[in-house]
Amino acid sequence: MKKVVIIVVFLFIGLNIQGENIVNIWADNSSLYLGLSKDRVWLKSYFLSNFQYYSTLKTETKKGIPTIVTASRDLYFLLDSLLKNDNYYKKDSFSISREDKIYTFIDDSNQLEISFGLEKPTKEIFNIINMVYENDPKTRKIVTDHYLESWVIRIFSAENVISPDINSLDFDDILISATIIGEKSQWLWGVHDGVDYIYSSLK
pLDDT, tens only, 113-148: 999 999 999 999 999 999 999 999 999 999 999 999
Say how far apart CA 83 and CA 60 lie, in whole Å. Answer: 27
Beta bridge partners of 65: 155
Would you list the DSSP string of 66-135? EEEEEEPHHHHHHHHHHTSS-SEEEETTEEEEEETTEEEEEETTTTEEEEEEEEPPPHHHHHHHHHHTTT
Task: Please check whether residue 189 lies inside any domain of the structure.
Answer: yes
Task: Please check whether residue 150 lies inside any domain of the structure.
Answer: yes
pLDDT, tens only, 87-110: 999 999 999 999 999 999 999 999
Task: Please check whether residue 1 lies inside any domain of the structure.
Answer: no
Helix axis angle, 137-148 relative to 123-132, nearest 10°? 150
- Cβ neighbours of residue 53 under 8 Å, at least 6 residues apart? 2, 3, 5, 164
Task: Please check whether residue 28 lies inside any domain of the structure.
Answer: yes
pLDDT at 11: 34
Task: Please check whether residue 42 lies inside any domain of the structure.
Answer: yes
Task: Please check whether residue 2 lies inside any domain of the structure.
Answer: no
Domain span at residue 82 reads: 9-202
Instruction: Establish how many alpha carbons lie within 13 A of residue 75's alpha carbon, considering only the half-sphere containing its beta carbon.
Output: 27
Task: Please check whether residue 3 lies inside any domain of the structure.
Answer: no
pLDDT, tens only, 76-89: 999 999 999 999 99
The total domain count for the chain is 1
Res. 5 pLDDT band, cuts 50 70 90: very low
